[in-house]
Amino acid sequence: MAGEPINEDEALARLRDSDDPSMQYYGAWWLGRNRSQHPEAVPLLIEALQQRRPRDPGAGVEENAVARNAARALGKLAPAALAAVPELLAALADADDGLREAAARALGDLRAPEAVAPICMRLAGGPAVAGARQSASPRLMEPCEALLEALGDIGAATPEVLGVIEPFMAHDWPLIRSAAARALLQLSGEPRWAQPLLELLNDSQLQVRRAALMDLGAAGWRPAAAAISATLAENSLKLIALRGLIENGRGEPADEALLQTMDDLL
């Protein structure tokens, strides 16, 4: 198959070679991409996750790049990677917001209930604090999109968690509103949270339409099938969203109708 010239042993060897971050970066990616079951994969990725230094925009950030890729890979290696939850929780408090983002996504992928309280703490300031723009960058103070999505994926539907997420429905950025609506829909199952996502499918920006597609798919909101199919975006993304409706959702339209909608987009 295209683009996979190395094998598992080679990927593990590259990850062990801490003298060459670019090799480690690729090794970590490979192990996650291929869902490695090798007993050494998770311990090596935990080591790579710890191998980092404070972010220095003027110099190389190679070591943090390795740590971020290690976090992403760990998210794909459940259940073995549940052993990495303490290290991922530590990464969630790192000064590098890119690493916090990768750690949040991995904790969401691993459905780690231990992450709910620390994630809520990071979001507690709401759109005006956690969701405020950093002064010298186009990024937000917290990686809100990843944090919100992780809460939805982990699935702890308590009033406290819903109360932390809901204020982000008023964020200026459609991508953040999309992530918040997705999490609220996943956690509460209430149709009122699907409505904003359906509206974002018609947003003027392609990037926003793509995010709303992915979010409806993640939430498995089956009544959105026809709207997904009609969205102005690549069929590849609509197919991923429809796959999400089938795998994550229940009810109407039923499986066979959804499969037909997918067939028509091939």
Partner 1 sequence: MNSAPATSAATDGLIADLERASSTIELLQATAALARTADPAAAAALVQVLGFNNPGAAVAAVDGLIAIGPAAVDQLLQLDPRNYGARAWAVRALAGIGDVRGLDLLVEALLTDVGPSVRRAAAKGLGCLRLQALPADERPAIEQRCLEALVEAVSDGEWVVRYAVAVGLEGLAKGSAWPIEHSSRGCTCAALGRLSDAAHEDTPVVRLRAALALQRLPSF
The binding site for partner 1 (CB under 8 A) comprises 1-4, 35, 234-236, 239-240, 243, 246-247, 255-256, 259, 262-263, 266
Taking the complex as a whole, the smallest distance from the CB of residue 78 to partner 1 amounts, in Å, to: 13
* Shorter beta-carbon distance to partner 1: residue 80 or 89: 80
Taking the complex as a whole, the smallest distance from the CB of residue 264 to partner 1 amounts, in Å, to: 10
Taking the complex as a whole, the smallest distance from the CB of residue 217 to partner 1 amounts, in Å, to: 11
Taking the complex as a whole, the smallest distance from the CB of residue 35 to partner 1 amounts, in Å, to: 8
225: which residues sit within 8 A by CB, 6+ positions away? 242, 245, 253, 257, 258, 261
- H helices of the chain, where? 8-16, 21-33, 41-50, 62-75, 85-91, 97-109, 116-123, 144-154, 159-165, 174-188, 194-200, 206-219, 225-230, 235-248, 255-265
Taking the complex as a whole, the smallest distance from the CB of residue 237 to partner 1 amounts, in Å, to: 10
Two tokens, residue 202: 């018609």
Tell me the C-alpha distance between 211 and 196, whole Å: 12
Angle between helices 62-75 and 97-109 (to 10 degrees): 10
* Shorter beta-carbon distance to partner 1: residue 33 or 55: 33
* Shorter beta-carbon distance to partner 1: residue 29 or 173: 29
* Shorter beta-carbon distance to partner 1: residue 2 or 59: 2
Tell me the C-alpha distance between 172 and 175, whole Å: 9
* Shorter beta-carbon distance to partner 1: residue 183 or 258: 258
Q: Which helix (H) or strand (E) holds 133?
A: none
Amino acid identity for residue 132 in this structure: A
Taking the complex as a whole, the smallest distance from the CB of residue 210 to partner 1 amounts, in Å, to: 13
* Shorter beta-carbon distance to partner 1: residue 165 or 208: 208
